[in-house]
Amino acid sequence: MGEHTETVEGYVMDGGCIRKNARDELLENARTHTRDCALMGHCIESGYGIVTDDDRLVMLDPEATRQVVDSVEATEKEEGIRLRVTREAEDDRMETTAVEEIR
């Protein structure tokens, strides 16, 4: 990994639901966020974020959406889906290069 890459691990939640939740309840709600909700049309359109175990919120770039949807569709978990996202610095922003489920 280069010096401009980072790996983020945590619970996936769509942007719409992130905005609906109180910030201090976000981690608790991310742990039970359902697969069905994450795959709803308007949820997919809102993009995705990762809520880490230490309660950090990392919003992902729009290019990550397809990879996140693929991972969420492939999981057998109904809720609390955990992903590992690898990101690289690209022109002052972080671009997602890999998404995988943490089992």
The pTM is what?
A: 0.93
Q: CA 6, CA 86: separation in Å to the nearest integer?
A: 6
Q: CA 18, CA 57: separation in Å to the nearest integer?
A: 9
Domain of 60, in residue numbers = 5-101
At 92, is the pLDDT very low, low, confident or very high (cuts 50, 70, 90)? confident
For residue range 17-63, what is the model confidence (pLDDT) as tens digits? 999 999 999 999 999 999 999 999 999 999 999 999 999 999 999 99
The mean of the pLDDT values for the chain is 95
**Predicted pLDDT at 19:** 97
Q: CA 1, CA 4: separation in Å to the nearest integer?
A: 8
Structural domain total, the chain = 1
